[in-house]
Structure 1
Amino acid sequence: MTRRATRALLSVLVAAWWLVVPGTHGAHSAPADAPVALPREGRITDRAGAGGERHAVVVTALDRLHDAPRSQRSQLCVIYVICVRDFSGRYGPGPVTAAAPGPSDPGPADPRPADPDAAVTDAAVTDATNGTYLILPVALVVGAGAVAAHAYTRRRRRARTRTTPGGGRWGGAASGGAGWGTPQGPPATPLAELDGQARRALVETDDAVRTSQEELGFATARFGEEAAKPFTGAVAYAQGELTAAFRLLQQLDDAIPEDDATRRAMLEEMLRRCADADARLDAEAAGFDGLRALEHTAPEALAAVETAYGELSGRVASAQAALDTMRERYTESAAAPVSGAVEQARERLVFAAAAVDRARHHLDRGDGSAAAVQIRAAEGAVDQAARLFGAVDRRARELAEAVGGLAAALAATEADLADAHGLLQGTAPDPPTADLRGRVGRAESVLADVRAAVGSGRYDPLDALRRVEEADTALDRALTGAGERAPDDRRTRALLERAALTARSASGAAGDYVTTHRGAVGAEARTRLAEARRRLDRAATLATGDPRSALAEAQRADALARRAQDLAEQDVRQYGNPDGLGGAAGDPGSGGGGLGGAVLGGIILGGLVDDGRSDPGGGGFGGDFGGGPGSFGGSGTRGRLGSGR
């Protein structure tokens, strides 16, 4: 309640006290009247006329309360009550004219049975023997009720605003259901619709955070970490809210179902967190524009992006050679996560070159604002090209590392098999040993398959290492459970090291793919990726003190990251790009000058369809090449460049 409304309410209570003072002394001669209902017109009921000259004071106080803002307004009625010992004569025909009895006159007894509707609240009369009747509690009860009702309404309104961004970008679903005596609110958003809103919000907020991180990197390199510190904090906050929202969706998508009420609450919290992340980034957008001031520093920024473009153009041949080597040395699955990376990088560079040319043209004409739009687009394309080349180089290193670690993994698994066979010799195949025998058989099968693959000359080292590590982990747990060996942290850490390698590789590959194809990737793939990263970070935290738990987290992270990659590739295929290569002939959204790859990579902003994926045909591209490149900011501001916002 605001200070103004509080003062008005206190005025009403004081006015009520003034009305009470004469009533407590004149109650013995005032005529009694029947209990009344509150009127629909007017706010003062004074049938006894006891208010007198104070009536105007009460009216003024009520008007002051009524003049409060509508969102904070309370309705308060004042009833002047004359209390009597009984309501003798109330049941007779015609108007009630019985006088209130004096202190020594108990009055005639009413021979009729008591009417339940005529009950008198005991609190209204505190002392019937001395004629003292407290009227003030009546006013206080009315006032307290008004305060409670007002607070309850404000609390419900505040709760709805906090849990759901009402009227915001994603529709603002209300949880629905009004209590007794409160106005009925809007109907609750259907659960399926709320789920769609939450997934769309996740995609848009994730894109906003990724774009903000990218442009923040350019600003930090140019102006230093101290100048970029406020914006670094904003991105970190938004990332934290986004991570929590992804965690909620992961819980909703897991094998344990939630009831509808719980699901609704979790979806509304996801929307709130996305709205908070967006709001924080949006709040810093203007300040970030002031820091970069691209329209004023366009010549310097253009020179920087041209230099980066030149360096990356020289990496095309080496990246292609590395990819060709992978394909020759290993199976196709080994290079699959980066199979389209070089082609994608080429297309990003084509787009960057076209944007640089347009920026140069605008600068020659003295149009710094138009040049800034083109420069930002070129920066985004160059950044993605660098990421794609880096993905190829990292994959080559990871495959080589897996080859080096595979021999040690095979040897460790063979040693564990020997221990298992020693335990099982002379032991009947009864239920207590059935699990161990099953894991021994599994490990033997994996070893045979991997050795055959290595002997063939072409295999997938990361997949082979993963299979051996998983089989050996299961065997080690069975041996420990059977009492053959005590838990050995050194052996567990060796398993963890191999699991962490495969998990980092899968997470990195999926992250690069989602980033460079985010114009088409939906919420589910992003959620699995976020959960994989969370578990990988947790594995690193647990590695020193609890290696067994860390191993389990790393293995789960590996599985989630590979699932994220699969889902992201499915999204791209559904987007209309079967090979994951932007700009292919006939692909929706493709265009000359690398435009198709820019749209697929989320450099040029597109629309969204209901399932949280980009709409390849949505958001027509006006101006030089479209609605503008993404920039630092939340969902409400990141498309401001080139769109008039």
Structure 2
Amino acid sequence: MELIVGAGAAVVVAGTVLAGMVFGRGRRKQRRLAEAQARAAELERLATEAGSALVRTDERVRLAEDELGFAVAQLGEREAQDLAAALQKARARLSEAFRLNQLLHDHVPDTDAQRLEWNSRIVELCRSADAAVTEQTAALAERRAAVRRTPSAIEQVRAEAERVRGLVPEARETLAALVDRYTDAALQPVAANPDQAERLLQFAERSATVAGKKLAGDRGRDADAAVQAAAETVRRAEGLLEAVEQFEMEALRAESTLGAMIAESRAELAAARAMPATARSGRIDAAVAGLEQALADLPGPGERTDPIGSLTRVRQANTALDDAVAAVQEAGRRAEQVRAQLATALDDAHRQVSAARQVVDDYRAPVGPDARTRLAEAERELAEASAERDPERALGGARRAASLAAEARALAHRDLARQQGYPGGYGGGYGGGYGWEGVPRGRSGSGDMLGGILGGLVIGGMLDGLGDIGDLFD
């Protein structure tokens, strides 16, 4: 009997121990899960902060570059040399930040430690770059403000606005003529420019009126901010109208590059077809078919064209064939072909980068960090390819630059399309952590240049002196 009782007690004890072990394991598993969720949340928060910092600092540096130009015009190069030096340092730091962001978004998986380190470094670099230019622009602000605190400055802005307004009808006529030659997709970057320019000029006139009221009320700093907003807006309006006039020249250059790339592609197709069937089968045959299709899809004589888009599609197919053939080509023949292709590839990269830069410069604040990162990386790749002495490396860099720039342009247009009810930020993707109050909601819809200008001015800190920028809509 005692043996049975003892055995029962042992079972009970063993069961209790086992239950304790299971319970402990469950607690540890829950704790590990909670820790993992906390780490994931922190990484997401840091990624959001890094994305917002990239946009904010990029805008701040761009506006500081504008300020440098204004300061040189008003005060001379000597007075602005400290800002010029600060901008050079800020650009270097921002370039490193964009490079890290590109690493975070490339095809190579990143560890949590890398994501934490790189996003933290992006935030740190952006803060450093921002501080460098903020200190120097603040030092120039009062000297420039003294120039703006006069009725003549307000009248000058009004005169400039009137002059630029006179350019709108010509831009509309140019755009109407372009519609007959280029597709809607090709014209998308400039199609709304005359309308956007008129809105900007209306805003500039209201800003000048506000500046006059603030000046009369002895509110010099507010008057400075309003005049500054008006002058920047007039300059952007003129840039939009110039972009319409320059579009055809850029399109003609792109068409010339496309013509060279078509001739190059046909030569590559002939060379690929001449290869032995055993070497061609598989990847090369598939690439040949892809390039043939890309050439067949080009618009015929008399049809509307999209030179930049066509360049992108033919280049991608051309590169695919080139990569497929490279593995079986003789080294000497390959080097000769690379040298022949390099000039066209560099020209294509310049066209793609220029098109992407135009979108970012025109629409400013609504364009998010992904598009800006791709563009910064494309510009870096293009600069390195242009300086590279090895033709093979230069060709690869030029093609990467063109691809990144095309991706940047597509991402920028995606951001513009998503900006419903702008201003306010980047929705869930980037937290919207740098919206602002005072601008009436609903006045700046998708792709609204006025919203982009105001966003850039606010993000860049140029309207900090104006207590209520809603006054500009009175």
TM-score range, shorter chain: 0.7 to 0.9
When residues 235 and 264 of structure 1 are mapped into structure 2, their CA distance, relative to the original with a 3 A threshold, is same
Shift of the 437–188 alpha-carbon distance from structure 1 to 2, 3 Å rule, reads closer
Query: 1:640: which partner in 2?
Result: 464
2:403 aligned partner, one-letter code: A
Q: TM-score, with normalisation over the residues of structure 2?
A: 0.78
Q: Structure 1 residue 551 and structure 2 residue 395: aligned?
A: yes
Residue deviations 1:573-607, cap 9 Å, x none?
Answer: 3221xxxxxxxxxxx36xxxxxxxxxx6xxxxx66
Q: For 1:275 and 1:617, how far apart are their aligned partners in 2?
A: 18
CA 1:362–1:355: 2 relative to 1, 3 Å: same
Q: Retained in 1: the 8 A contact 2:225–2:462?
A: no
Contact 2:55 2:369 in 1 (8 A): yes
Q: CA deviation at 1:377?
A: 0.7
1:612 equivalenced with 2:430 (yes/no): yes
Change (3 A) 1:632 1:332: closer
1:464 to 304, 310, 315: 310
Alignment equivalent of 2:246, drawn from 381, 394, 405: 394
Contact 2:359/2:409 (CA < 8 Å) preserved in 1? Answer: yes
Contact 2:264 2:341 in 1 (8 A): no
* Superposed displacement of residue 513, structure 1: 2.3
Matching residue of 2:198: 346
The separation in 2 between residues aligned to 1:403 and 1:278, in whole angstroms, is: 40
CA spacing shift, 1:574–1:616, aligned 2, 3 Å: farther
Match of 1:214 among 42, 49, 66: 66
Deviation at 1:320, TM superposition (A): 1.9
Q: Secondary structure at the match of 2:342?
A: helix
Q: 1:567 to 1:407 in 2, by over 3 A?
A: closer
Change beyond 3 A, Cα 1:336–1:258: same
Instruction: State the Cα distance separating 1:612 from its structure 2 match.
Output: 2.8
Give 1:382's aligned amino acid.
Answer: V
Max radius of gyration: which structure?
1
Superposition deviation, residue 444 in structure 1 = 2.8
Identify the residue that residue 565 of structure 1 maps to in structure 2: 409
Query: How far 1:617 sits from its partner (Å)?
Result: 7.7
Deviation at 1:611, TM superposition (A): 3.4
Q: Corresponding residue for 1:275?
A: 127
RMSD in angstroms over aligned alpha carbons? 3.5
CA distance in 2, matches of 1:444, 1:306: 55
Shift of 1:376: 0.5
Relative contact order (alpha carbons < 8 A, sep ≥ 6): 1 or 2 greater? Answer: 2
Q: How does 1:292-331 map to 2 (within 5 A)?
A: 292-294=144-146, 297-331=149-183
Answering whether residue 56 of structure 2 is matched by residue 204 of structure 1, we say yes
Q: Is the 8 A contact 2:312 2:403 kept in 1?
A: no
Question: How far off is 1:431 after superposition?
Answer: 5.2
**Aligned-partner residue type, residue 557 of structure 1:** A
Aligned to 1:359: 211
Q: Name the CA distance, whole Å, in 1 between partners of 2:370 and 2:165.
A: 34
Please report how far the alpha carbon of residue 252 of structure 1 lies from its aligned counterpart in structure 2 after TM superposition. 0.8
SS at match of 1:255: coil
Give the aligned residue type for 1:564: A
Q: Which residue of 2 aligns with 1:441?
A: 289
Distance in 2, matches of 1:480 and 1:356, equals 61
Separation in 1 of the partners of 2:329 and 2:192? 49
| 1:501 and 2:353 matched | no
Which residue of structure 1 lines up, in the alignment, with residue 370 of structure 2?
A: 524
**2: distance between equivalents of 1:321 and 1:482?**
53
Pairing partner for 2:230 from 362, 370, 378: 378
8 Å Cα contact 2:164/2:237 also seen in 1: yes
- The 1:487/1:316 distance shift into structure 2, 3 A limit, reads farther
CA distance in 2, matches of 1:270, 1:291: 33
Q: Determine the C-alpha separation between the residues in 1 that align with 2:171 and 2:278.
A: 56
- Structure 2 vs 1, CA of residues 387 and 377 (structure 1 numbering), >3 Å: closer, same or farther? same
| Structure 1 equivalent of residue 5 of structure 2 | none
- Identity fraction in percent: 33
Q: CA deviation at 1:227?
A: 1.7
Preserved CA contact (<8 Å) 1:373 1:629: no
1:287 aligns with 2:139: yes
Separation in 1, partners of 2:275, 2:56 = 56
Give the letter for the 1:214 counterpart. D
CA drift at 1:235: 1.8
Change (3 A) 1:375 1:192: same
What do residues 5-41 of structure 1 show as CA deviations (whole Å, max 9, x unaligned)? xxxxxxxxxxxxxxxxxxxxxxxxxxxxxxxxxxxxx
- Give the equivalent residue in structure 2 for 1:539: 385
**Residues 149, 223 of structure 2: 8 Å contact kept:** no
Aligned length: 422
8 Å CA contact 2:257–2:347 kept in 1: the answer is: no
Structure-2 change in CA distance of 1:317 and 1:282 (3 Å): same
Against the structure 1 CA distance between its residues 489 and 347, is the aligned structure 2 distance closer, same or farther, given a 3 Å change threshold? farther
The DSSP-based 3-state class of the residue aligned with 1:206 is: helix
Q: Once the 2 structures are TM-superposed, how far is the Cα of residue 352 of structure 1 from its aligned partner? A: 0.9
Per-residue CA deviation, residues 179-217 of structure 1 (Å, 9 max, x unaligned), is xxxxxxxx9982221222222222221221122122222
CA-CA distance at 1:253 after TM superposition: 1.2
Once the 2 structures are TM-superposed, how far is the Cα of residue 248 of structure 1 from its aligned partner? 0.8
Q: Say which SS state the counterpart of residue 611 (structure 1) adopts.
A: helix
Paired residue type of 2:240: L
Match of 1:242 among 84, 94, 99: 94
* Superposed CA offset, 1:53-91 (max 9, x none): xxxxxxxxxxxxxxxxxxxxxxxxxxxxxxxxxxxxxxx
Shift of residue 375, structure 1, vs aligned partner:
0.6
CA separation of 1:226 and 1:458: change in aligned 2, threshold 3 A: same
Question: Is the 2:308–2:352 Cα contact (8 Å) retained in structure 1?
Answer: no
CA distance in 2, matches of 1:611, 1:416: 43
Matches of 2:239 and 2:436, distance apart in 1: 27
> Distance between the aligned counterparts of 2:467 and 2:309, measured in 1?
46
Aligned mates of 2:239, 2:109 — CA distance in 1: 38
SS of 2:430's partner is coil
Instruction: Provide structure 2 residue ranges, at least 5 long, that are not aligned to the other structure.
Output: 1-34, 441-449, 469-474
Q: Distance in 1 between matches of 2:295 and 2:401?
A: 24
- Tell me how far apart the structure 2 counterparts of residues 219 and 449 of structure 1 sit (CA, whole Å): 50
1:475 deviation in Å? 4.2
Shift in Å at residue 438 of structure 1?
3.2
Q: 1:146-170, CA deviations, whole angstroms, 9 ceiling, x for partnerless residues?
A: xxxxxxxxxxxxxxxxxxxxxxxxx
Match of 2:22 in 1: none
**Amino acid in structure 1 at the alignment position of 2:290:** R
Q: Given the two structures, how large is their TM-score scaled by the length of structure 1?
A: 0.58
Query: 1:167 aligns to what?
Result: none
Aligned to 2:103: 251
* Match of residue 184 from structure 2: 332
Q: Distance in 1 between matches of 2:219 and 2:381?
A: 48
The equivalent of 1:24 in structure 2 is none
Mapped contact 2:48–2:431 kept (Cα < 8 A): no
Instruction: Report the CA distance shift for 1:367/1:490 in structure 2 as closer, same or farther (over 3 A).
Output: farther
Residue 621 of structure 1: how far off its partner (Å) = 4.3
Deviation, structure 1 residue 493: 4.7
Aligned partners of 2:325 and 2:148: how far apart in 1?
Answer: 69
The structure in which a higher percent of residues are helix is: 2
CA contact (8 A) 1:423 1:484 kept: no
Task: Give the letter aligned to residue 390 of structure 2.
Answer: D
The alpha-carbon deviation at position 246 of structure 1 amounts to 1.4
